[in-house]
Structure 1
Amino acid sequence: MTFLVGQSILEVKAGAPNNGRGEDNRGMVKQFKTGRDVYPYVSAQASRRWLRDSLPAGEATSPVVRSGEGKKQQAYTGGRPDLYVDDDLFGYMIAVKADEDGAKKGESKTFMRDTVLATGTLVAVVPTVPVMDFGTMSRDMGPDEHPVIHEHEMYTADLAGDLLLDLPRVGAFETGGKSAKPAVPEPVAAAVVEGGGSRMTLRGVDCVRLPLAERRRRVAVLLRTMAVVKGGAKQSAHYGDRTPGLLILAPLLGGTNPFTRVVRERERTTYFDADILREEIEAWSGELDGPVRIGWAPGFLGGQRDRARSDLADLIKGEKLIFGHPRTVLNGLADEFEAGAHDEWFEDPAA
């Protein structure tokens, strides 16, 4: 079974991309403390929302259903991974009425899909204390009137978060099993098969699977969206690039991510450690199912990009490493998926 694993590093300049609860009428960015150090972060929920909102205009997204009031409110997506790429890749949980899934009168059933795209919290590599931005609203106020004061936090930092895409589960939906709740009811499963899909067993669980061409397309859509992702809070005052400044992606058997320590803190700066990357590639050579891909935007981390390319020149020449711009790397990999170059990555030998 092949997974795409790695890490995405986002450069935030004087931004407030994800806010927490305010205090004393002040807007606060999300952050946590370890001892005396403060680490701003962007939650996985927020970064996944950015991806969903950045999907191509022609890509339909799952409608959200909201019901109940007060503490009994519920909100969930349509739960149709056969129709919507976001339900397929991001997962969901939904309770349906009896007449929707064929259960007996008075019964209900829960359908759940574990995420296919796992994303870690984007956390500052180097601790930094957010600053308070002070502003006023005084337009059209007289000379004797006091302006309305508003404050909110912002910060500059490089945020790093892990990534994992479970390729065999793209477009494969559980229909039942002793250890897993079904992702779709039987009428939906039947519609998938009638539409050209197939029934199969994946990791001991009965599933239906979309045609290969659609599974290829969905992975390509995700990769291209990662190359153009945008979003974040307070864009009117703190607009900034939200595409990766640095990206590590590797096809790995088994789903372990050994590349989480390549980008680390060194002397209070963000540091790309080529020696760690080299040793991890050697240690996991038997599990790597293709070259490691490094997408690195020019200018990010100054001269470290050129130094890393030089230090890793032998791996690049030996085709163990692909090095380029994040956009080029992501779009190139998407092209390869669409051309069928990685069809074997969708298969699970244990299935």
Structure 2
Amino acid sequence: MTFLVGQQVLQIKAGAPNNGRGEDNRGMVKKFSTGRGDRYPYVSAQAGRRWLRDSLPAGEPTSPVIRSGEGKKQQAYTRGRPDLYLDDDLFGYMIAVRADEAGRSQTFMRDTVLATGTLVSVVPGNPVMDFGTMSRDFGPGTNPVIHEHEMYTADLAGDLLLDLPRAGTFETGGSTTKAALPGGLAKEVVERGGSEVVLRDVRCVRLPIEERRRRIAVLLRTMTVVKGGAKRSAHYGDRTPGLVILAPVKGGTNPFTRVVREREKATHFDADVLREEIEAWADELDGPVRVGWAPGFLGSQRDRAGSDLADLIKEGRLVLGHPRTVLNTLADEIERGDHDHWFDDPR
């Protein structure tokens, strides 16, 4: 049983990637305050996951969204077919479907395979209010229409976890776990080349390993080209990670959440923290820790980290490279079957 765990950091330059509720006709970004009064801009996990979904390859089918009800009783949900759609498989869902002729419904739920943390500014900061005017074709002496919105510059960090044994594996029943698929659809999965397995004491059906590999590889490659965010017309910017840490860990604990932290009111990559975590978790690591780091992000810290961690790199315990190279290489290895044992759970 292996999880890919780690952290990603996005560099936002004069952006407004995720809006909160407006106030007095002003566009506001999402942010929160601590008890000390520090303010932290953030991008919600829902928004970050939406960016990933929207950035999937053009040929990758995504689950249709169904909307029902009116007013406060509106609902929106996907088809709930993880056997057919990568996003239902990796991002999860909850749906209620008619289960019998009497019209009774049954709930089917899939917990997410990809867990993502909120992308929060590493260093506190105050968004600024930008304003613009609309005066095109207005007559002489006419006051322009003013519109205002917040924006900020910050490095946003959030945790990542990929539960690899559950990719392409769908629960069909258990005393404490809701089924992801009804019995008829589970049977179809097996008839189309899948298999029946028990994962963590829960009965499941599982897609062939080739498709499970492919889906994880697609997700990793999508992380290298992700795009999205609000106000792209005025505040377009890169939404791929400037830095990403991913490591295969047997138990699923993420020991790398404190590697990127605040130091002297700036974003700091702490090589000493990374080294100590690698040593402390050596018995749980199932391969090298991979650090994808875009050149120029955080100035000279990249070169300094490469020098400070040179022995771990030489020993093959750490990989340091461009985020696109690191993630695409890992995707290639997974698709080749180099890490098939990551997808199994002996329990």
Coarse TM-score class (shorter-chain normalised)? over 0.9
Measured against aligned partners, the alpha-carbon deviations of 1:280-312 in whole angstroms (never above 9, x if no partner) come to 000000000000000000000000000000000
* Alignment map for 1:227-246 (pairs within 5 Å): 227-246=224-243
Match among 149, 168, 171 for residue 165 of structure 2: 168
Output the amino acid matched with 1:75. Answer: A
Mapped partners of 1:105, 1:197: distance in 2: 31
Instruction: Indicate the residue corresponding to 2:14 in structure 1.
Output: 14
**Whole-angstrom CA distance in 1 between matches of 2:120 and 2:103:** 46
Is 2:121 the partner of 1:124?
yes
Is the partner of 1:173 in helix, strand or coil? strand
Residue of structure 1 equivalent to 2:98: 97
Residues 204-248 of structure 1 show CA distances to partners (whole Å, capped at 9, x for unaligned) of: 110000000000000000000001000000000000000000000
Could you tell me how far apart the structure 1 residues matched to 2:17 and 2:144 are? 26
What per-residue deviation string (whole Å, max 9, x for no partner) do you get for residues 83-124 of structure 1?
0000000000000013xxxx3523210000000000000000
Q: C-alpha separation between the residues in 2 aligned to 1:204 and 1:236?
A: 50
* Alignment match, 1:32: 32
Q: How does 1:229-268 map to 2 (within 5 A)?
A: 229-268=226-265
**Residue of structure 2 aligned with 1:142, choices 139, 142, 149:** 139
Q: 183-192 or 266-275: which moved more?
A: 183-192
Provide the C-alpha distance between the structure 1 equivalents of 2:259 and 2:221, rounded to a whole number of angstroms: 24
Partner residue of 2:276 out of 276, 279, 283: 279
Matching residue of 1:72: 73
Work out the number of aligned pairs and report it.
Answer: 346
CA distance in 2, matches of 1:176, 1:15: 45
CA deviations 1:70-93 (Å, max 9, x no partner) are 111110000000000000000000
CA separation in 1, counterparts of 2:312 and 2:259? 16
In structure 1, runs of 5+ residues without a counterpart are none
**Counterpart amino acid of residue 78 in structure 1:** R
- Matched to 2:313, the amino acid is I
User: Distance in 1 between the 2:328 and 2:185 partners?
Assistant: 32
- Whether 1:3 aligns to 2:6 is no
Per-residue Cα deviation, 1:46-83 (whole angstroms, up to 9, x for no partner): 00000000000000000000000011111000000000
Superimposed CA distance per residue, residues 105-157 of structure 1 (whole angstroms, 9 cap, x where no aligned partner) = 23210000000000000000000100000110000001121110000000000
How far the C-alpha of 1:173 sits from its partner, in A, is 0.2
Q: Deviations over 1:237-282 (max 9, x none)?
A: 0000000000000000110000000000000000000000000000
Counterpart CA distance in 2 for 1:185 and 1:131 is 50
Task: Specify the alignment match of 2:46 in structure 1.
Answer: 45
For 1:336, give the aligned amino acid: E
Which residue of the other structure, out of 272, 295, 298, is the alignment partner of 2:295?
Answer: 298
Measured after TM superposition, the shift of residue 186 of structure 1 is 1.1
Distance in 1 (alpha carbons) for counterparts of 2:109 and 2:264: 45
TM norm structure 2: 0.99
Structure-2 residue corresponding to 1:180: 177
The RMSD of aligned alpha carbons is 0.6
CA distance in 1, matches of 2:200, 2:102: 32
What are the ranges of 5 or more consecutive residues in structure 2 without an aligned counterpart? none
TM-score by length of 1: 0.98
Distance 1:106 1:39 in 2: 48
Which residue of structure 1 aligns with residue 63 of structure 2? 62
Taking the aligned partners of 2:23 and 2:320, their CA distance within structure 1 comes to 44
The one-letter code sitting in structure 2 at the alignment partner of 1:5 is: V
Give the secondary-structure state (helix, strand or coil) at the position aligned to 1:133: strand
Q: Secondary structure at the match of 2:80?
A: coil
Residue 156 of structure 2 corresponds to 159
Distance 1:106 1:196 in 2: 32
Q: Post-superposition, which runs of at least 4 consecutive aligned residues in structure 1 deviate over 4 A?
A: none
- Partners in 1 of 2:183 and 2:56 — Cα distance? 29
Q: Secondary structure at the match of 1:228?
A: coil
Alignment match, 2:334: 337
Aligned to 1:107, which of 104, 108, 131?
104
Query: What code does the residue aligned with 1:40 have?
Result: P
